[in-house]
């Protein structure tokens, strides 16, 4: 009974305006067009957001904290898929957001970009990817990406 | 032969010197009286209804003769008297909440006076024995092949509730997302537009003609006896909008004794514990009055309500009032005419969403605080005719007018407004073809006539025919089959037909449990608002989409109900497994230029399980004796999947739960209720990505506790009054049901109610 009275007096939980979110999110839909490559060349498929453009590679940039990737791989052989990226270090400018495919066994080298935010296919070398300035904690930012496996964008990775 | 008491009265009237115009009225009244008086005297039925366990008389039991409009309500001493019953064979049905239905076949001769003692057997608490929504006719809850939650209103009104949504939140499997009612996860959130649950008042549709929206404040709760919530597809009987289920508000039947009731309440919102949210002391109050009486063939039920709410949020206050009247004229034993009149007026702040989580009690559009004035009026009539003990017809017609006007004080009158009429006419026939075969059929027309600044001038017409057969010859198996064909036409949109079949099976097993199975198809035609809305308000731009198609779905349910003994007490237990497949669901989405548009985008599947248990613990044989603890538990597990996006459907929770307990204390009762909703997993991310609502994704699970202490004036001071002290959201738990809308904090409520 005492516990009940204390709880009634104190209130217990729920939303709290003094504990504001410290992270932001990028969300979007990846739309796929064209014929999918063979399944054995789809070892991994993720959205990767880079601070640098052009980036050096995928894994190295992620390990050095200069890039983020989706926690789960994107579904294969679908028309579209939604994704989310959690951004904890704010503010940040993401200069290159790409759908990256690991096409070979080498985790460090066998990656290529198949869809770029701001460069819908067919994209030529003149296309400049869109930057996304993520500044406000608690906010969701949108970045939709189109992928056409038959018209890949210019490759940034060496 | 005119009875002497009428002959004398007629002579006295004609001899009086009164003006010609009044004489005409008197002549009409006299003719009516003579027609009534000329009915053959028939038989008389005198009943005494009492509790089989305690032998105490029962007040408020419903008595009816199946196949006629004859019936009554037991008085305080348990007596009921039915007169002028034509000779014939009847089934007498006596029912009351908390007791098993009592039935007996009687053969009556003209001039008979039959006296009967009816002893009702108690059953687990809280169960409403008779429902009307599952088959468009009165039947026991056990006969219905679908899940129905039937809530008695009298205990609910002790909680100072004044709007339908407050009641619906307490019903298992039902959630309310601001203006949207979702039964077992079928609806999300679209500011009330396009309800997937049909709302009825005594069987008359009550969705607005423009947006297909429920107006929660339009329902006369003070005059209502119970609310029935049918869970699952019901278009085979009800047509459009019954995709997720049907809510039917059933008003009371007056008895011969005058019954008056009043309710006065007032409350305060607790001061939020966060300084950022504090706005100073704010409160609310309300008053209700109702009166009901049957005078011979005429019965009147009326109610009036007024509510003022200062709100716990800035620019969200409201003032509303409502009047309701139901007049029933039993023209003859097989014939009754009922007229419903209702009007509600509401003036409230146009709150849409918060400024931010830090300023959750201030509106996002504080710089231009709009207000909304709305009016809701209903005129409806029902003509019931029993042509014989086997054949009956019901003609129902209603006109429901809704109007709203947004206004900005001091600004020109160019803000959104709409006037809509929803017209409905239905002719339903029932034929007891064989003792165990009941056939029903009907035709139904709905017309929506809209004139609005934001929708234009629009007309929508739905015409339908339906038929249903209830086959009971395979007892203990009961089978219901039926179908309804609807045709929808709207200017500027393609005409279409919808065929919605239905199958229901009930099986009373030899080992105890009663099993039920229901399968049905349902649809919802797009509303005028979804097709033609074009407006710009509070930062949002809405664009029309005349190409919208109807949304459709199939739903199936397998359920079992039984009474089990726990610690020597009977507990009613009900389990249901359900599955719905939904196609072309209409959802608002953000498109080009961040404009909102309604589209057929979602293919969905909703699966789940619902468990309800009702009973009591304690030493007493009766649930309402001091020292017994009445309990109700309900748990719903949902898996609402958006198959188009391969994710959870927006604005749905996975878990819903309600636990309720009441402890009678001799001079009153103590009540506790706990309501739980797991965190909504997905919302429209665009509210945040496009910067409409700051901290739009701030949401948590819902834990709401309500405590209430009711004192009975009769036990304390010998007066028929009741005093209730309540604390809503007792733990002052802060949550949202939809983005940017902080739910009410702790509230303290004091209510005085009574009746005679």
Nearest one of B142, B96, B139, B102 to B118, comparing CA atoms: B102
Which pLDDT score, from 0 to 100, does residue B133 have? 85
Distance CA A23, CA A15 (A): 16
Residues of A with CB under 8 A from a CB of B: 7-8, 11-18, 20-21, 25, 27, 75, 78, 81-82, 138-142
Burial grade of B740 (CB within 10 A; 0-12, 13-18, 19 or more): buried
Which pLDDT score, from 0 to 100, does residue B11 have? 34
Chain A residues inside the 8 Å CB shell of B727: 8
Q: Count the Cβ atoms, other than its own, within 10 Å of residue B372.
A: 18
B695: closest CA of chain A, how far (Å): 6
Which pLDDT score, from 0 to 100, does residue B9 have? 34
A158: closest CA of chain B, how far (Å): 33
Which pLDDT score, from 0 to 100, does residue B5 have? 35
Nearest one of B200, B193, B170, B185 to B231, comparing CA atoms: B185
What stretches of B52-141 adopt beta strand conformation (E)?
62-65, 71-73, 79-85, 88-95, 102-108, 113-120, 130-131, 139-140
Distance CA B603, CA B585 (A): 6
Distance CA B11, CA B13 (A): 5
DSSP reduced 3-state for B545: coil
- Pairing verdict, β A96-102 and A111-116: antiparallel
- Pairing verdict, β A24-33 and A145-148: parallel
- Pairing verdict, β B629-642 and B224-231: unpaired
Q: How many Cβ pairs within 8 Å bridge chains A and B?
A: 75
Chain A residues inside the 8 Å CB shell of B696: 140
Give the position of tokens 């400049």: A128
Flag if A139 and B694 touch (Cβ within 8 Å). yes
Query: Do B424 and B397 contact (CB within 8 A), yes or no?
Result: yes
Distance CA B306, CA B510 (A): 52
Query: Do B30 and B349 contact (CB within 8 A), yes or no?
Result: no
Distance CA B744, CA B734 (A): 8
Which pLDDT score, from 0 to 100, does residue B310 have? 97
Which pLDDT score, from 0 to 100, does residue B567 have? 79
Name the closest residue on chain A to residue B272, using Cα atoms.
A11
Query: Do B428 and B440 contact (CB within 8 A), yes or no?
Result: yes
In sequence order, the β-bridge partners of residue B600 are B586
- Global pTM value: 0.83
Which pLDDT score, from 0 to 100, does residue B126 have? 58
DSSP reduced 3-state for B35: helix
E strand or H helix at A148, and its extent?
Answer: strand A145-148
Nearest one of B366, B367, B361 to B275, comparing CA atoms: B361
Flag if B688 and A139 touch (Cβ within 8 Å). yes
A92: closest CA of chain B, how far (Å): 16
Residue B141 DSSP label: G
Flag if B357 and A82 touch (Cβ within 8 Å). no
Chain B residues inside the 8 Å CB shell of A12: 731-733
Q: Across the interface, which of A11, A17, A75 has its CB nearest the CB of B357? A: A17
Flag if A27 and B735 touch (Cβ within 8 Å). no
Flag if B698 and A8 touch (Cβ within 8 Å). no
Name the closest residue on chain B to residue A29, using Cα atoms.
B645
DSSP reduced 3-state for A65: coil
Confidence of residue A95 (pLDDT cuts 50, 70, 90): very high
Flag if A15 and B360 touch (Cβ within 8 Å). yes
Q: For testing the chain B interface, which of A17, A135, A136 should be mutated: the one with the most B CBs within 10 Å?
A: A17
Which pLDDT score, from 0 to 100, does residue A4 have? 60
SS3 readout for B117-136 = EEEECECCCCCCCEECCCCC
Flag if B733 and A7 touch (Cβ within 8 Å). no
In order, the DSSP letters of B581-624 are EEEEEEEEEE-GGG-EEEEEEEEEEEEEEEEEEEEEESS-SSTT
Chain A residues inside the 8 Å CB shell of B357: 15, 17, 20, 138
Which pLDDT score, from 0 to 100, does residue B656 have? 97
Chain A residues inside the 8 Å CB shell of B645: 82
Q: Kindly give the parts of chain B with pLDDT less than 70.
A: 1-41, 67, 69, 124-128, 366-368, 412-414, 473-474, 537-539, 593-594, 620-624
Flag if A140 and B700 touch (Cβ within 8 Å). no
Flag if B697 and A17 touch (Cβ within 8 Å). no
B335-to-B108, B433, B719 alpha-carbon distances in Å: 19, 21, 39
Q: Count the Cβ atoms, other than its own, within 10 Å of residue B502.
A: 24
Name the closest residue on chain B to residue A137, using Cα atoms.
B695
B24's CB contacts (< 8 A; 6+ apart) are none
Tokens standing for residue A65:
């904290």
Write the ipTM.
0.78
Nearest one of A142, A144, A136, A143 to A24, comparing CA atoms: A136
B645: closest CA of chain A, how far (Å): 7
Distance CA A119, CA A130 (A): 8
Flag if B689 and A141 touch (Cβ within 8 Å). yes
Report the interhelical angle of B20-37 vs B4-15 (nearest 10°): 170
Name the closest residue on chain A to residue B736, using Cα atoms.
A15
Distance CA B74, CA B96 (A): 10
Residues of B with CB under 8 A from a CB of A: 273-274, 276-277, 357-358, 360, 645-647, 685-686, 688-691, 694-700, 703, 727, 730-736, 742, 746
Flag if B691 and A139 touch (Cβ within 8 Å). yes
pLDDT in tens, B548-585: 999 999 999 999 999 888 877 888 899 999 999 999 99
């Amino acid at each position: 009974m005492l516990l009940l009275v204390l709880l009634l007096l104190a209130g217990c939980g729920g939303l709290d305006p003094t504990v504001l979110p410290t992270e932001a999110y990028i969300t979007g839909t990846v739309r796929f067009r064209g014929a999918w490559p063979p399944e054995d060349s789809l070892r991994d498929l993720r959205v990767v957001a880079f601070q640098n453009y052009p980036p050096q590679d995928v894994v190295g940039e992620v390990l050095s904290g200069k890039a983020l990737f989706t926690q789960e791989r994107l579904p294969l052989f679908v028309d579209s898929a939604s994704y989310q990226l959690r951004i904890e270090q704010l503010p940040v400018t993401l200069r290159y957001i790409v759908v990256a495919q690991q096409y070979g066994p080498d985790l460090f080298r066998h990656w290529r970009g198949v869809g770029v935010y701001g460069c819908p296919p067919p994209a030529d070398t003149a296309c400049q990817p869109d930057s996304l300035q993520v500044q406000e904690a608690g906010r969701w930012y949108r970045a939709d990406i189109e992928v056409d496996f038959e018209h890949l964008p210019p490759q940034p990775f060496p | 032969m005119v009875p002497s008491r009428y002959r004398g009265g007629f002579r006295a009237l004609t001899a009086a010197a009164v003006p010609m115009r009044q004489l005409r009225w008197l002549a009409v009244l006299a003719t009516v009286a003579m027609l009534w008086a000329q009915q053959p005297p028939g038989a008389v039925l005198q009943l005494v209804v009492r509790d089989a366990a305690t032998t105490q008389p029962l007040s408020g039991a419903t008595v009816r003769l199946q196949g006629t409009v004859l019936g009554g309500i037991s008085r305080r001493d348990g007596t009921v008297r039915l007169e002028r019953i034509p000779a014939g064979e009847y089934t007498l049905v006596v029912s009351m909440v908390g007791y098993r239905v009592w039935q007996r076949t009687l053969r009556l001769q003209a001039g008979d006076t039959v006296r009967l003692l009816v002893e009702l057997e108690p059953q687990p608490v809280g169960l409403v024995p008779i429902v009307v929504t599952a088959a468009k006719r009165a039947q026991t809850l056990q006969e219905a092949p679908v899940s129905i939650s039937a809530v008695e209103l009298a205990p609910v009104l002790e909680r100072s509730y004044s709007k339908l949504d407050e009641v619906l939140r307490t019903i298992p499997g039902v959630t309310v997302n601001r203006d949207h009612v979702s039964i077992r996860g079928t609806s999300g959130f679209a500011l009330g537009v396009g309800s997937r649950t049909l709302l009825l008042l005594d069987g008359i549709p009550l969705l607005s003609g423009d947006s297909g929206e429920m107006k929660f404040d339009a329902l006369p709760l003070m005059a209502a006896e119970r609310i029935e919530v049918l869970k699952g597809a019901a278009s085979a009987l009800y047509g459009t909008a019954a995709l997720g289920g049907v809510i039917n508000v059933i008003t009371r039947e007056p008895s011969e004794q005058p019954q008056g009731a009043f309710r006065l309440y007032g409350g305060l919102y607790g001061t939020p514990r966060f300084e950022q949210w504090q706005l100073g002391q704010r409160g609310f109050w309300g008053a209700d009055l109702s009166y009901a009486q049957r005078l011979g063939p005429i019965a009147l039920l009326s109610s009036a309500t007024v509510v003022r709410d200062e709100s716990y949020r800035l620019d969200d206050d409201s003032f509303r009032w409502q009047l309701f009247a139901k007049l029933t004229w039993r023209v003859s034993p097989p014939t009754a005419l009922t007229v419903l009149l209702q009007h509600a007026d509401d003036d409230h702040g146009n709150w849409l969403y918060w400024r931010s989580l830090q300023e959750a009690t201030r509106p996002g559009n504080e710089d231009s605080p709009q207000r909304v004035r709305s009016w809701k009026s209903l005129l409806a009539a029902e003509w019931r005719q029993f042509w014989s003990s086997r054949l009956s017809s019901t003609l129902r017609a209603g006109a429901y007018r809704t109007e709203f006007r947004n206004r900005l004080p001091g600004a020109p009158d160019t803000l959104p407004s709409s006037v809509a009429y929803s017209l409905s006419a239905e002719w339903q026939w029932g034929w007891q073809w064989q003792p165990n075969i009941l056939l029903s059929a009907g035709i139904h027309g709905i017309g929506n006539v809209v004139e609005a600044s934001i929708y234009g001038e629009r007309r929508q017409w739905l015409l339908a025919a339906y038929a249903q057969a209830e086959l009971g010859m395979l007892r203990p198996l009961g089978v219901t089959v039926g179908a309804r064909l609807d045709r929808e036409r709207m200017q500027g949109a393609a005409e279409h037909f919808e065929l919605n079949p239905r199958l229901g099976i009930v099986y009373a097993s030899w080992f105890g449990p009663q099993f039920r199975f229901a399968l049905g198809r349902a649809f919802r035609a797009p509303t005028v608002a979804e097709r033609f809305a074009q407006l710009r308000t509070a930062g949002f731009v809405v664009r029309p989409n005349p190409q919208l198609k109807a949304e459709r779905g199939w739903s199936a349910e397998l359920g079992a109900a039984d009474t089990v003994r726990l610690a020597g007490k009977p507990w009613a237990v009900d389990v249901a497994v359900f599955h719905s497949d939904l196609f072309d669901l209409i959802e608002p989405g953000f498109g080009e230029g961040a404009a909102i548009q309604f589209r057929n985008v979602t293919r969905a599947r909703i699966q789940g399980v619902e468990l309800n248990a009702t009973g009591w613990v304690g030493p007493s044989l009766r649930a309402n004796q001091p020292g017994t603890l009445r309990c109700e538990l309900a748990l719903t597990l949902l898996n609402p999947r958006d198959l188009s996006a391969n994710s959870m459907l927006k604005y749905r929770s996975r878990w819903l739960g309600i636990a309720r307990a009441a402890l009678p204390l001799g001079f009153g009762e103590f009540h506790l209720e706990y309501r739980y909703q797991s965190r909504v997993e997905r919302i429209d991310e665009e509210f945040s990505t496009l910067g409409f609502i700051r901290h739009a994704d701030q949401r948590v699970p819902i834990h709401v506790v309500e405590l209430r202490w009711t004192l009975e004036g009769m036990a304390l001071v010998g007066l028929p009054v009741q005093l209730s002290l309540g604390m809503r959201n007792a733990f002052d738990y802060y949550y949202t049901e939809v983005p940017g809308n902080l739910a009410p904090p702790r509230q303290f409520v004091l209510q005085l109610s009574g009746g005679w």
